[in-house]
Structure 1
Amino acid sequence: MHAFTKLPAWEQMLKRIVWQQLGEINGKRILDFGSGEGITAAHYSENNSVIAIEPSEEMLSKAWRNDKYVQIAGDVSALAEFESDSFDLIICHNVLEYIDDKKTAITEMSRLLKTGGTLSIVKHNRFGRVMQMAVLLNDINRANDLLDGKNSTASKFGCIRYYEDDDILKWCNQLKLKPANKKSRLN
């Protein structure tokens, strides 16, 4: 997987951690929503049927393709094209922060998820971003803005609209989804 080794070290580490937490997955139907450059879609397409959805033309132009997964250019509205109970696993990693109507997105993903399926959500960590601003970038003003509850920006995607773990739990409860755990942990 040569594209994986070309990623920055921090991104390789993040993907390894998340993939380890998801465990070995074989013979499943997977949706990678907000697939970015397609690294996760390519990884899981080795042993699964994967559909990837990405709205950013820039990301799609850089996508690493192994022709084992289906790539769709689209956003939340593309989810309506799929039948209910279509996927065993839906991956939504660092995506909801860039969606205005998070509840609609989660509701639609819930509809697509098979009974007993898994919705994997990874979210930006506000306090990690505070430390990045303060320690790595020496930007105390932006760090304080984040501590005061203001949003941040990502160079590629624009405004990062943070949400809390409790928001995810609330959405899950409203949709009768059963959270596997409140916070991720390393084994």
Structure 2
Amino acid sequence: MTAEVPARAVPGMRGPDVGRERDGARPTLVWDVLRDVVAARAAQSGRAALDIVDVGGGTGGFAVPFAALGHHVTVVDPSPDALAAARRRAAEMRVTLTEVQGEADGLDSLVGVDAADLVICHSVLEYVDSPAAAMAAIARVLRPGATVSVLAANVVSAVLQRALAGRYEQARRLLDGEGGDAGLPRRFTLAGLTALIESAGLRAGDAHGIRVFAGLLPAAGADQGTAAELRALEEAAAAYPPLRDIAARLHVLGHR
């Protein structure tokens, strides 16, 4: 792969439409937030090209667009198949990624201490053996003034989904912290994610809810005629605390 940046990859591009989050939702709002974080960090540091680490980066849905903007991006993932897919996607976009196979709790030993301006940790904490150990490793990777972007499944949304579907016992078990559904990944509350970030010595920053209504209503967005209205509503609800807190996914920034 070459380091050539394609002509269509210019500042202001609308999100990593080349990829989707693991739950299938296009993460446009998350991309907009991170683009602002990166712009602010670049201005603060005086470096146009930042060092970005995407832990659990999967097939490169965020990594490739950031590389296309000229940043140095490292994708860390335990799956060699996911890394191979990220490599293919990067080749299609004619950008360079650094790929490292490994786990989140060993991130500092894989990429180094004080090595990143931004760490992306999306759909990772649900699956790792120890979220606290993973977050501590991420904190060691961040440079002073750097940011981690955490995206995780929300237990409140899961409880509401099951209650609305008449699965009351599963909803109660989730609410009681018993897991609800065997074999499914762990989920978090906003308070829990914030505490996890702060316990690693980081300062919790802005929080947003992702898929407030689409997460609760299976048919939401099915009508293409109202899709734009739903997107506008989702964006308005994302930072509105009572609605943010019941979103399918929670997005929280942590700052060193």
Q: Which residue of 2 aligns with 1:52?
A: 75
Q: How many residues align?
A: 179
- 1:42 aligned onto 2:64: yes
- 1:21 aligned onto 2:33: yes
Indicate the percent of aligned positions where both proteins have the same amino acid: 26
Deviation at 1:140, TM superposition (A): 4.6
Assess if the C-alpha contact under 8 Å between 1:28 and 1:88 holds in 2. Answer: yes
| 1:81-127 CA-partner distances (Å, limit 9, x unpaired) | 33221000001012111112222211111111011000111111112
Uncovered stretches (5+) of structure 1, i.e. residues with no partner: none
Alpha-carbon RMSD across the aligned residues, in angstroms, is: 3.0
Deviation at 1:59, TM superposition (A): 3.3
Runs of 4+ aligned structure 1 residues displaced above 6 Å come to none
The TM-score normalised by the length of structure 2 is: 0.59
Larger radius of gyration: 2
- 1:149 aligned onto 2:161: no
Matching residue's letter, 1:17: L
What CA distance in whole angstroms lies between the structure 2 residues aligned with 1:74 and 1:96? 14
Q: Which residue of 1 aligns with 2:192?
A: 167
SS at match of 1:121: strand
The 5 A counterparts of 1:114-133 are 114-133=143-162
Deviation at 1:36, TM superposition (A): 1.6
Assess if the C-alpha contact under 8 Å between 1:4 and 1:12 holds in 2. Answer: no
- 1:66 aligned onto 2:90: yes
Match among 135, 154, 160 for residue 106 of structure 1: 135
Matching residue's letter, 1:56: S
What CA distance in whole angstroms lies between the structure 1 residues aligned with 2:84 and 2:53? 20
The TM-score normalised by the length of structure 1 is: 0.77
| 1:116-165 CA-partner distances (Å, limit 9, x unpaired) | 00011111111222344455x764543343233222569xxx54122333
